[in-house]
Structure 1
């Protein structure tokens, strides 16, 4: 069951490339333009993304650990099922977003704006970036940028109910976003052109939606919900 969720979230990260480039592409460009002239950009781009995905994994570990502790304290199976169903409803929402049928999942970005306002001054103090190590720190703060897709994936980490599975969940999503943001340039433009094609987005979005529907129906069909 976890493997299915990891694959679905990787696809969401990969096919959500248009959203990622729209939100984060400008940041990457701004960071890169501030680099000293003549330096190789690849280590800095790698550093940004290592930091960013590291933050995603940390978010997943925190949420998974917190939910696991909560389930232990509450000792209640119904609460676990609530998280499971919410996570898969959100997975369906992400699939509909990828298919171009709904943008509802992006509306939850407002919840993260107060935290981002606190982090922005710390990010500003790290700029301009002068070393790959510094770029990792910048990427780690960047990972907390309000993003509907990240928050949607985070709910799956919450439903994972342990820190390791939560971290893996967000790592899978983060790795899906990597090609679009790491390979910014001619290849990224071609990749974006392919994944933004309507048939590709529709097929992938419906596939993710189908996975969410299947995961919602599975406990009912197997009778696990009533055990």
Structure 2
């Protein structure tokens, strides 16, 4: 079951690229363009900076994933005698993936409510992010990525519910690592193919396919939770 969680997180990160383009595409494109102008270098020479940004972002995901995984393990140990907590978390994670799939497909915007919940924290962090946008080396790029990882995102928050059900701090961190790696191809390529990817993200069929696939994975998580409880 846990291997299935990691695969679901990886695929959700990749398929959620249509959402990443809207949330992070402007950040990636602007940073890449800024570096190219200042250094008069082609995009591929800026690729190490993009890796540094994304490494920082994924590290932030893993840290908060570990916290959520540890919290889930603690709650499970505390409440296991009262109710099937691990199974309940797995079902909730599956339901969140269903909601996320509807959102990615453009059929329901309910998950935006979750994004709004994190905006107060982002308002406190965004001034630091603005100060870090003048990047001169890889270390600064990585630090910017660490802050960038806290950008309010329903996609990330949905995966944190999955991390909560993963079974522990390490498992929660691995869920978010898998998710972050899944988002990596889309965000690395945005800098070079921003126009193409923007058009792709607006394609109804692309959005629908991504949404349906994520919903199927959510149903699979619910199925696994119910099968484990019966077994």
Tell me the TM-score range normalised by the shorter chain: 0.7 to 0.9
SS in 2 for 1:183: helix
Relative to the length of structure 2, the TM-score reads: 0.85
Deviates more, 1:57-66 or 1:38-47: 38-47
SS across alignment from 1:88: helix
Whole-angstrom CA distance in 1 between matches of 2:88 and 2:94: 10
| C-alpha distance in structure 2 between counterparts of 1:96 and 1:11, whole Å | 16
* Pair 1:46 & 2:48 matched: no
Partner of 1:20: 20
Question: In structure 1, the residue corresponding to 2:22 is in which secondary structure?
Answer: helix
- TM-superposed deviation, 1:47: 0.8
RMSD: 2.3
Rounded to whole Å, the distance in 1 between the matches of 2:24 and 2:88 is 32
1:183 Cα deviation after fit = 1.4
Conservation of the 8 A alpha-carbon contact between 2:18 and 2:207: no
Unaligned ranges ≥5, structure 2: none
- Structure 2 distance, partners of 1:218, 1:177, is 25
Q: Aligned equivalents of 1:194 and 1:121: distance in 2?
A: 31
Q: Please give the alpha-carbon distance, in whole angstroms, between the structure 1 residues aligned to 2:7 and 2:143.
A: 28
How high is the TM-score relative to the length of structure 1? Answer: 0.87
- Partners in 2 of 1:19 and 1:195 — Cα distance? 8
Indicate conservation of the 8 Å contact 1:51/1:140, yes or no: yes
**1:165 aligned partner:** 171
Partner SS state of residue 144, structure 1: coil
Deviation at 1:226, TM superposition (A): 5.6
Higher mean C-alpha deviation, range 185-194 or range 56-65: 185-194
Structure 1 unpaired stretches of 5+: none
How many pairs does the alignment contain? 225
Q: 2:112 aligns with which of 106, 129, 135?
A: 106
The 5 Å alignment of 1:35-184 reads 35=35, 36-38=38-40, 40-76=45-81, 77-184=83-190
Instruction: Please identify, of 45-54 and 119-128, the stretch whose mean Cα deviation from structure 2 is larger.
Output: 119-128
